[in-house]
Amino acid sequence: MELKQSIPFLLLVIILFRTSMADPRTKMVSIMCGNQLEHNSTQFVPNFVAVMENISEQMRTKGYGSAVVGSGPDANYGLAQCYGDLSLLDCVLCYAEARSVLPQCFPFNGGRIYLDGCFMRAQNYSFFDEYKGPEDKTVCGNKTRKGSGFGASVRQALSLVVSGAPTNNGYAKAQMGSTANDSAYVMADCWKNLDERSCRACLENASKSITSCLPWSEGRALNTGCFLRYDDKEFLNKEGGSGGNSRGTRVVIIVSVVSSVVVLVVAVAVGHHVWRNRYIQKKRKGSNDANKLVRTLNDSSLNFKYSTLEKATESFNDNNKLGQGGFGSVYKGVLPDGREIAVKRLFFNNRHRAGDFYNEVNIISTVEHKNLVRLLGCSCSGPESLLVYEFLPNKSLDRFIFDQTRGKGLHWEKRYEIIVGTAEGLVYLHENNNIRIIHRDIKSSNILLDSRLRAKIADFGLARSFQEDKSHISTAIAGTLGYMAPEYLAHGQLTEKVDVYSFGVLVLEIVTGRQNNRSKSAEYSDSLVTLTWKHFQSGRVEDLYDPNLMLHNYRDNQAMKNQICRVVHVGLLCTQESASLRPTMSKALRMLTNKEEHLPPPTTPPFVDEKTMELNDKYEDPSYPLNADDDGSIADVTHSSFYPR
């Protein structure tokens, strides 16, 4: 709209009045919006604007600010910070750009934006002590491929800033290398709300991830509590400081005035959005439905007392922690009657977030199958929202098939049983209910194993249901790269065939012991699906089998090999590029269990020819934005697991 278009012009006015020769580095690296809608626009919007203005006052004097306005689901927590080399003038300019862009996340209740000179985040819960999270990612600037000398310089400089920043107010820079080709420049910056220990932990994680960008000439780690960047060119400003001369003061005043106008423009724009969507908001299920569900759960046998679960997990002792998934941490617990349980402690603990999650729980609590992890109940009346599942001692499948030692314990019969069990669970979800359920995140880390190593599908945080008379639903894309079907990745159309594709990838992983992880760091390497397809076409598919499958003596070794080859064939049928050619899960199950069932020849999987490969690269490029509209963009890509590694 016209008001939004005026914001860049106002920023141009600011820049024209600049007297400093330094660079505010306002280039946007990434913006990440939340996936939960705001609770009440009439409360949320004024709170957001007030937080931004409060932080603005702090940025003008110290280059850092945080604020809290409101309470409950309409509260707004904000934080902004400029990197250590920016002057106050440059800092104000960078913040003005960030605060004009972040409102694009509305009507979602949170988001974060990384510019090359500053960072900003807003949420409706307190995040000030967080230093890592599932949104952490690395952005590689693939401009120039460098030599090994440059890589060595980057690693040395990273070591210096990671050790130096925590004791230097969270900021450090370093330059290594004796020649132009080997020189590397590195900068690290932690958010000032973190203590020294959290800052160090954040930078250590960021340092490990950013080296995956090598041998390319630049990389950035965008972590929850810190920012890390390396480059082959000097990108830091030569001088920091307050820049507090008379002309500089005039610039700050101009920025202050124009920045206030920006806030007004944003508020009006958001208000227009609220007015335009009011009718839609009335039709959409709101918090009343969530509150009703909470009351129902409180009165039902599904409800656990918070104190009971807290005692069962020894106050969520780290020794009882089983892992961390996309929605929260999971702990082992023992109830007073001796039953072992798994307790999921939600990350984003507010009523609106919990209400949405309970709606999903309401779907899963209506289904029960031997190959689905059983939901025992929840606690929604205490200080945190907790979900209670049956405890499975062997945790997740990925711990076995991707580990050479543990993989020896999964002989072929057991792997085949896991494949069939997973298929049976998906058939039940897709076909045995009036409301079909699509899991959306089938992968090895979401297949749990009981004491007899039988498969149980877990983590229904992304599951969706729809009526039988619907051919598909359009939805924001969510799932794990490498497991998402191409038509869903490109168009956001969700059908059961999305789960079929993920199941096919899982089958190939179980047989080969390899992950389907095609990434930029493994340039020109084929995905597991493509690699299996090529071997299948040339009659050499046995070359890909996990060596652990051949450690056991079978009476009929050829019969076993024939069965494995048939299973691979089914996996390739499930991962065909055309969704219409993929079998349904019930058809796939018959193909797996009935040797008389005809297997048609598989067609080309996705991302093999150049055109589709470009589509794949587009979505795997770390610099590609992960939040956008439903026109084929990724809205919520996760790498979560129920009991992760």
pLDDT averaged over the chain?
78
Provide the CB-side half-sphere exposure for 101 (13 A, CA): 24
For every residue of 409-467, DSSP letters joined together read: G--HHHHHHHHHHHHHHHHHHHHSSSEEEE-S--SGGGEEE-TT--EEE---TT-EEEE
Q: Are 157 and 175 in contact (CB under 8 A)?
A: yes
Looking at residue 519, its pLDDT comes to: 40
User: Whole-angstrom distance between the N-terminal and C-terminal Cα of the chain?
Assistant: 46
Closest by CA position to 219, among listed 142, 116, 114: 142
* CATH number for the segment(s) 28-123: 3.30.430.20
Q: Has 344 been labeled as part of a binding site? A: yes
Distance CA 360, CA 531 (A): 36
Query: How large is the angle between the packed helices 496-512 and 557-574, nearest 10 degrees?
Result: 150
Q: Quick one: residue 474, left, alpha or beta (phi over 0 = left, psi -120 to 50 = alpha)?
A: beta
Closest by CA position to 412, among listed 605, 229, 557: 557
Average pLDDT over residues 74-81: 91
What would the pLDDT profile of 427-464 be if each residue is shown by its tens digit? Answer: 999 987 667 889 888 999 999 999 999 999 988 877 77
Count of residues making up the chain:
645
Is a pLDDT exceeding 60 seen at residue 3?
Answer: no
Looking at residue 510, its pLDDT comes to: 97
For every residue of 249-273, DSSP letters joined together read: HHHHHHHHHHHHHHHHHHHHHHHHH
Looking at residue 108, its pLDDT comes to: 83
Check if 28-123 and 137-231 are the same fold.
yes
* 97 CB neighbour count, 10 Å cutoff: 25
Closest by CA position to 505, among listed 430, 413, 606, 589: 606
Looking at residue 555, its pLDDT comes to: 61
Closest by CA position to 512, among listed 490, 533, 496, 537: 533
Query: Using the 8-state DSSP alphabet, how is residue 158 labeled?
Result: H
266-269 LR contacts (CB < 8 Å, sep 24+): 266/7, 266/49, 266/99, 266/100, 266/103, 267/45, 267/46, 267/49, 268/3, 269/1, 269/3, 269/4, 269/103
Q: Are 455 and 444 in contact (CB under 8 A)?
A: no
Looking at residue 248, its pLDDT comes to: 40
Distance CA 585, CA 424 (A): 8
* CATH number for the segment(s) 137-231: 3.30.430.20
Backbone angles phi, psi at 83, to 5 degrees: -75, 160
* 615 CB neighbour count, 10 Å cutoff: 15
Does the annotation mark 441 as catalytic? yes
Average pLDDT over residues 307-327: 85
Is a pLDDT exceeding 60 seen at residue 181?
Answer: yes
* Strand order from edge to edge, sheet including 184-190: 137-145, 216-222, 226-231, 184-190, 171-176
Is a pLDDT exceeding 50 seen at residue 624?
Answer: no
Looking at residue 362, its pLDDT comes to: 67
Distance CA 183, CA 351 (A): 51
Stronger pLDDT, 606 or 173, i.e. the higher one: 173
* 440 CB neighbour count, 10 Å cutoff: 24
Q: Are 364 and 459 in contact (CB under 8 A)?
A: no
What would the pLDDT profile of 470-527 be if each residue is shown by its tens digit? Answer: 444 555 566 777 888 888 877 777 889 999 999 999 999 999 999 986 443 344 357 8
Distance CA 230, CA 186 (A): 4
Active-site residue, selected from the candidate residues 90, 441, 459, 636: 441
Distance CA 168, CA 172 (A): 7
Residue type, 399: R
Highest mean pLDDT among 63-67, 259-263, 630-634: 63-67
74-78, 272-276, 372-376, 414-418: least confidently modelled range: 272-276
Query: For domain 291-390, is the CATH number 3.40.640.10?
Result: no
Percent of the chain with pLDDT over 70: 72
Distance CA 308, CA 337 (A): 11
What would the pLDDT profile of 79-134 be if each residue is shown by its tens digit? Answer: 999 999 998 888 988 998 888 888 888 788 889 999 999 999 999 889 998 999 88
Looking at residue 479, its pLDDT comes to: 72
Query: Which residue has tokens 């004009």?
Result: 100
Give the Cα-Cα-Cα angle 378, 381, 386 (nearest 5 degrees): 35
Looking at residue 409, its pLDDT comes to: 87
Can you say how many angstroms the Cα of residue 47 is from the centroid of all Cα atoms in its chain?
A: 27
Query: For domain 395-519+526-607, is the CATH number 1.10.510.10?
Result: yes
Distance CA 158, CA 339 (A): 48
For every residue of 4-71, DSSP letters joined together read: HHHHHHHHHHHHHT----S-----EEEEEE-SSB-S-HHHHHHHHHHHHHHHHHHHHHHSEEEEEE--
Average pLDDT over residues 603-614: 59
* 276 CB neighbour count, 10 Å cutoff: 10
Provide the CB-side half-sphere exposure for 469 (13 A, CA): 0
Looking at residue 360, its pLDDT comes to: 57
Q: How confident is the model at residue 26 (pLDDT cuts 50, 70, 90)?
A: confident
Looking at residue 294, its pLDDT comes to: 55
Query: Using the 8-state DSSP alphabet, how is residue 583 labeled?
Result: P
Can you say how many angstroms the Cα of residue 394 is from the centroid of all Cα atoms in its chain?
A: 25
Can you give the residue ranges of every domain in the chain? Answer: 28-123, 137-231, 291-390, 395-519+526-607
Q: Are 343 and 391 in contact (CB under 8 A)?
A: no
Looking at residue 534, its pLDDT comes to: 94
Is a pLDDT exceeding 80 seen at residue 6?
Answer: no
Distance CA 386, CA 378 (A): 5
Distance CA 238, CA 207 (A): 24
Q: By 3-state DSSP, what share of the chain in percent is helix, strand and coil, each rounded to 5?
A: 45, 20, 35
Is a pLDDT exceeding 60 seen at residue 550?
Answer: yes
Query: Which residue has tokens 């590609």?
Result: 624
Query: Using the 8-state DSSP alphabet, how is residue 408 labeled?
Result: G
Residue type, 335: L
Backbone angles phi, psi at 190, to 5 degrees: -100, 155
Q: How confident is the model at residue 22 (pLDDT cuts 50, 70, 90)?
A: low
Distance CA 57, CA 591 (A): 66
Looking at residue 13, its pLDDT comes to: 38
CA distances from 474 to 28, 362, 406 (A): 29, 21, 40
